[in-house]
């Protein structure tokens, strides 16, 4: 059975987290989120973690080679021998090329880049409607999953707040950054024949079915 090396792309609020968990369950893949990997490397004080921290402490961006090195440590682990799911890396063409070269040196290659698309207005509506309780971080949505009493957590009675990251103006800034970085990345993977597009405005279960079918097809093609 061939490897299943996948990248998950999409704007914040498109449902990547939900779909990532389902893909992990469907295909028994390890899931690597770049932010988590870097934070863990820094916390563990590994050589790469110390190097990443030196850049972060100075307020500089962590170089692509350092981020990719931290990710490749995971990719080289036994749990990723049959494949992996990456989220949050690559974010730019430069990072994509660094990743492709690192995989190539190991005789490995990407299977597909899965892009979950959603219009900006949908993303703003989804994210700006989120509320979180101050006591235990329970999540609500003013439209899709409202509390019984406005502004009060059903579970512990604490206040519900809107995180700064979820304020409409912040979400729009995040989307601007995403569009600048990711549209060229989508074109890059399209040119390589690796891009698969999915409509993130559909219900999560429907998006999941479409992604699962596409990935199953990839596995079948690889085995033929």
| Residues taking part in catalysis | 16, 91, 130, 163, 174
- Phi/psi zone of residue 140: left (φ > 0), alpha (ψ -120 to 50 degrees), beta? beta
Domain-embedded: residue 192:
yes
Domain-embedded: residue 127:
no
What's the CATH number where 25 sits? 3.40.50.300
How many independent structural domains does the chain possess? 1
The pTM of the full predicted model, rounded to 2 decimals, is 0.86
Domain-embedded: residue 194:
yes
Domain-embedded: residue 138:
no
Distance CA 22, CA 1 (A): 21
Domain-embedded: residue 63:
no
Domain that holds residue 198: 4-30+77-119+175-223
Domain-embedded: residue 43:
no
Domain-embedded: residue 40:
no
pLDDT tens series, the chain, 224 aa: 478 999 999 998 899 989 999 999 999 999 998 878 888 888 888 888 888 888 888 877 788 888 888 889 899 999 999 999 999 889 889 999 999 999 999 999 999 999 999 999 999 999 999 999 999 999 999 999 999 999 999 999 999 999 998 999 999 998 998 888 888 999 999 999 999 999 999 999 999 999 999 999 988 887 76
Q: How many CA atoms lie within 13 A of 122 on its CB side?
A: 15
């Amino acid at each position: 059975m061939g490897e299943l090396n996948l990248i998950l792309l999409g704007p914040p609020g498109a449902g990547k987290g939900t779909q990532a968990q389902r893909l992990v369950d469907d295909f028994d893949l390890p899931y690597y989120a770049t932010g988590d990997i870097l934070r863990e490397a820094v916390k563990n004080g590994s050589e790469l973690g110390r190097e990443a921290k030196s850049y972060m402490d100075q307020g500089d961006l962590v170089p692509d080679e350092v981020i990719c090195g931290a990710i490749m440590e995971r990719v080289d682990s036994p749990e990723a021998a049959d494949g992996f799911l990456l989220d949050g890396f690559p974010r730019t063409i430069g990072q994509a090329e660094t990743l492709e070269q690192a995989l190539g040196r190991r005789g490995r290659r990407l299977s597909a880049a899965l892009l979950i698309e959603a219009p900006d207005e949908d993303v703003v509506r989804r994210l700006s409607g989120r509320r979180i309780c101050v006591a235990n971080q329970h999540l609500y949505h003013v439209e899709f999953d409202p509390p019984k009493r406005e502004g009060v957590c059903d579970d512990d009675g604490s206040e519900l707040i809107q995180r700064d990251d979820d304020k409409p103006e912040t979400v729009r800034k995040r989307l601007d950054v995403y569009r600048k970085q990711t549209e060229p990345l989508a074109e890059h993977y399209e040119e390589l024949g690796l891009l698969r597009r999915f409509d993130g405005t559909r219900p999560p279960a429907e998006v999941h079915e479409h992604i699962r079918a596409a990935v199953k097809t990839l596995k079948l093609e690889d085995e033929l």
